[in-house]
Amino acid sequence: MSPVTTSLAAIFNLNHSAHVVEWHFIQLSVANLVVIALMFVVFFAALLLPFPGAQNRRKGRS
Amino acid sequence: MSALGKLWSKDETKPWKGGYQHYDLVKEASIAVGVVALLALLLTVLFSSPDEKPSTIAQWSRDTPINFVATATDELDGTSPTAEYGPPYNHNSGSVQHVLFLHPQRWLGVSHPINTSRDYVIGPLETIPNDPELKSALAQYKAAPEKQQKEWAEAYGKPLGEYETAVEEKKTPNEKAVSVNPSTGAVTVQASGAGPVPVMIGSLLALARSGGVDGSLLTSNQFFQTDYTKPLLFMADGSVLAERAEAQHLLGEQWGMMNETGSYPGQVWLWLYTLWYQVEPFKSSPNADLWVMLIMGLLSTAFICIPFIPGIRDLPRKIPIHRLIWREHYAAGAAPPAQD
Amino acid sequence: MSATETPPQSSWTVKLRERAVEALPPEKLLPDGQPTYVASWIYIFGVASIAALVCLIASGSILALKGPAWWHYTSVGHFFNSIHLWSVEIFFFVMVVHLWGKYWMAAWRGGRTRVWITGAVTFLVAVPCALTGYVSQQNFDAQWISTQAKDGLNSVGVGAFFNVTNFGQMYSYHVLLLPLAVVALVASHVLLVRRHGVVPPIDLKSRITPAPAAAAAGAAGRQGAPADTQPASGARS
């Protein structure tokens, strides 16, 4: 087992072997899968969530 | 509109003549920096970052001495991956890639010459003082013709190669032919016709265990050195790095290019680059690296040139995600239903 | 205002100043208003990318102050290394979401081709910038990544002059050369956005047209109307 520097500040210790999701020929670590999923969630949230300042914009249009 | 735009696009988008809203650009940028900094801080406090200690040649020679000895013998007889690699390390062709008429690896030539027998074996051994047996073995080896040198090294390397193959295939290796002394860590190889090679490799193993090879490979040209090519290639020729990498899901076939050590997120943006290596014909091609680089070069160029590519540049109109983005604007403008 | 009454016609300084002010007058460089169609959270990802880049450079500068080995043997150093690593993850995350948004807006329209190009090249330069960082870590990850990446780079001949196993070279590229390139690209990207403005909405009434001449009969926009106002047979980008 190779020595690993102790992470003093970490609340969650991620210094253990990664869990991997396999689907056909695709292998993705859970961490990477979470990042990719979050990107899609954030993208669609950005598209769908209402944006503040509508009154300001109405004044600008009139 | 710029000249480039006029040349390539029939786009008639005109400057905005409509209304404006108040907006504080500097405040927004400041808030963004604050929020992102806080997010980075939060992730740091929650997860920190990985720092797996590097492998050293000393560790390698102590933990897996047979693999070290087998690799060193391959370096001596010029059959290691680095010895057979080709440019930029030498003029061989073991890892030289080409696609059709493209031979860029050859064209750019040998810029970082490595002579594996001299750099990895003879050079470090020559730094060992006060060892008459080693001095005599080295003299005998250097005085012999190249053909004889190769025969000695191959004779010594053959049982080692068979041992390593058995271990790789998870069979029982022949421990009569190759064995390790548990107290001294010395490796004994039953090989006849190996000449001075056993003494040389045995001394190299002892030097490696003391840390001498790490230092020797780094400072061989000058005192101050920041180029770790030689020690890294030596370790990469053995199994010390690959074994750790496999345990960390970093091998190519494990999509390792995207991964980080431990359970940390890695380099997700490399997904398309590594994907090609997982599918035929690239998966089993000896020229996979060059093929993948060419494909990614082409796709990257296409990415830059999206505004010029019909079809790709028209997709945003066809799939109207923009209606979500500008829904307030379209509603305020009371435009008739789209007919595109 | 010129320091002399009549600056010489051949003054490079005056020519540069006049060109710069013409391209980007102060109210365009630092505007205090934006079009009313900028009304979506998707618009924050550009500035978020810049913010992440600022965090990267700040944390990277602190790491550089104490040298490349510092973070391995002090917890403060490790802390700033963590900030740097998570800033990288955030940077690529928000930059790609920004890219997705800009693609679906067809943000290259209206003479904004160079905005798209500078943005795309920024991403493509950021990738090797990150690579040089990963191989400069001086730990096992750096050992593995460098011994693997060398094969891809050697195959295209780049390995002859860009040696990922040469720590000194990689550290220099990572700390100075590639960040300079990224910052220069981001600066030109942002200045081009300031010059051309944020891309107006796609006109819902627009059509594909084979003949650009038809666009000459186009309707004028009314206040608040979609900016790429088109005739019935208007052009499509």
CB contact under 8 A, C82 and B29: no
CB contact under 8 A, C140 and A57: no
Yes or no: say if B267 and C84 are a contact pair by the CB < 8 Å rule. Answer: no
- Residue range(s) defining the domain that contains residue A22: 18-48
- Give how many domains chain A has, as a whole number: 1
Residues 6+ apart with CB under 8 A from A30: A18, A19, A20, A21, B263
Does residue A25 belong to any structural domain of this protein?
yes
Question: What average pLDDT does the segment B36-51 reach?
Answer: 97
Confidence of residue C234 (pLDDT cuts 50, 70, 90): very low
Count contacts between A and C (CB, < 8 Å): 46
Confidence of residue B337 (pLDDT cuts 50, 70, 90): very low
B75, exposed or middle or buried, with CB in 10 Å at 0-12, 13-18, 19+? buried
- The 10 Å Cβ neighbour count of residue A43 is 20
Question: What average pLDDT does the segment C55-78 reach?
Answer: 97
Does residue A2 belong to any structural domain of this protein?
no
Yes or no: say if C118 and C192 are a contact pair by the CB < 8 Å rule. Answer: yes
- Check whether C76 has a pLDDT greater than 50: yes
CA-based nearest distance C177→chain B, Å: 18
pLDDT of res. B62: 96
Instruction: Report H helices in chain B.
Output: 3-8, 25-47, 57-63, 65-76, 104-108, 116, 123-125, 132-143, 146-168, 197-209, 212-218, 229-237, 240-247, 271-275, 288-304, 315-318, 322-325, 327-333
Chain A interface mutation, best of B43, B243, B263, highest count of A Cβ atoms under 10 Å = B263
Chain A interface mutation, best of C38, C40, C49, highest count of A Cβ atoms under 10 Å = C40
Chain A interface mutation, best of B48, B250, B322, highest count of A Cβ atoms under 10 Å = B48
Please, what sign has the CA dihedral across residues C217, C223, C225, C227? positive
Comparing CA positions, the residue from B93, B135, B131, B125 lying closest to residue B110 is B93
Taking contacts as CB-CB distances below 8 angstroms, the residues of chain B near A9 are 44-45, 48
- Average the pLDDT over each of C64-78, C163-177, C201-215 and give the range with the smallest value: C201-215
Domains defined along chain C, listed by start? 38-200 (1.20.810.10)
Taking contacts as CB-CB distances below 8 angstroms, the residues of chain A near C40 are 46-47, 51
- For tokens 């398309």, the residue is B272
Q: What is the mean pLDDT of chain B?
A: 93
- Check whether B5 has a pLDDT greater than 90: no
- Check whether C108 has a pLDDT greater than 80: yes
What number is the ipTM of this complex?
0.93
Yes or no: say if B290 and B102 are a contact pair by the CB < 8 Å rule. Answer: yes
Tens digits of per-residue pLDDT, B54-106?
Answer: 999 999 999 999 999 999 999 999 999 999 999 999 999 999 999 999 999 99
The model's pTM is 0.90
pLDDT of res. C204: 80
- Check whether C233 has a pLDDT greater than 70: no
- Check whether C212 has a pLDDT greater than 70: no
The packing angle between helices C44-65 and C178-196, to 10°, is 150
Confidence of residue B309 (pLDDT cuts 50, 70, 90): very high
- Check whether C219 has a pLDDT greater than 80: no
Tally the C-alpha atoms within 13 A of residue C220's C-alpha that lie toward its C-beta. 3
Which helix H or strand E contains C192, and what residues bound it?
A: helix C178-196
Interatomic CA distance for residues B317 and C202, integer angstroms: 8
The CA distances from residue B252 to A7, B13, B112, B314, C172, in Å, are 27, 46, 25, 36, 27
Tens digits of per-residue pLDDT, C152-184?
Answer: 999 999 999 999 999 999 999 999 999 999 999
- The 10 Å Cβ neighbour count of residue B18 is 21
Question: What average pLDDT does the segment B296-304 reach?
Answer: 98
Comparing CA positions, the residue from B232, B211, B225, B255 lying closest to residue B85 is B232
CB contact under 8 A, C78 and A5: yes
pLDDT of res. B241: 97
pLDDT of res. C170: 98
Which tokens go with B219?
């400072």
Please, what sign has the CA dihedral across residues C110, C115, C116, C117? positive
Tens digits of per-residue pLDDT, A8-56?
Answer: 558 999 999 899 999 999 999 999 999 999 999 999 999 999 999 988 8
- Check whether C215 has a pLDDT greater than 70: no
Does residue A38 belong to any structural domain of this protein?
yes
Dihedral in degrees, nearest 10, Cα atoms B198, B204, B206, B207: 160
Radius of gyration of chain C (CA): 23
Interatomic CA distance for residues B66 and B87, integer angstroms: 29
Yes or no: say if B16 and C197 are a contact pair by the CB < 8 Å rule. Answer: yes
Confidence of residue C228 (pLDDT cuts 50, 70, 90): very low
Confidence of residue B3 (pLDDT cuts 50, 70, 90): low
- Asked if B325 is an interface residue toward chain A (Cβ–Cβ < 8 A), one would say yes
Angle of CA points B232, B237, B242, to nearest 5°: 85
CB contact under 8 A, A39 and C36: no
| Preceding amide of B88 cis, omega within 30 | yes
Taking contacts as CB-CB distances below 8 angstroms, the residues of chain B near A28 are 255, 258
At residue C125, φ and ψ (nearest 5 deg) are -85, -30
Does residue A23 belong to any structural domain of this protein?
yes
Convert C134-157 to b/e letters by CB count within 10 Å (16 or more is b): bbbbbbbbbbbbbbbbbbbbbbbb
Chains with ≥3 Cβ pairs under 8 A against B? A, C
Q: What is the mean pLDDT of chain C?
A: 88
Three-state SS for A29? strand
pLDDT of res. A57: 86
pLDDT of res. B2: 64
Question: What average pLDDT does the segment B288-317 reach?
Answer: 96
Yes or no: say if C82 and B48 are a contact pair by the CB < 8 Å rule. Answer: yes
CB contact under 8 A, B49 and A7: yes
Tell me, letter by letter, the H, E, C secondary structure of B199-217.
HHHHHHHHHHHCCHHHHHH
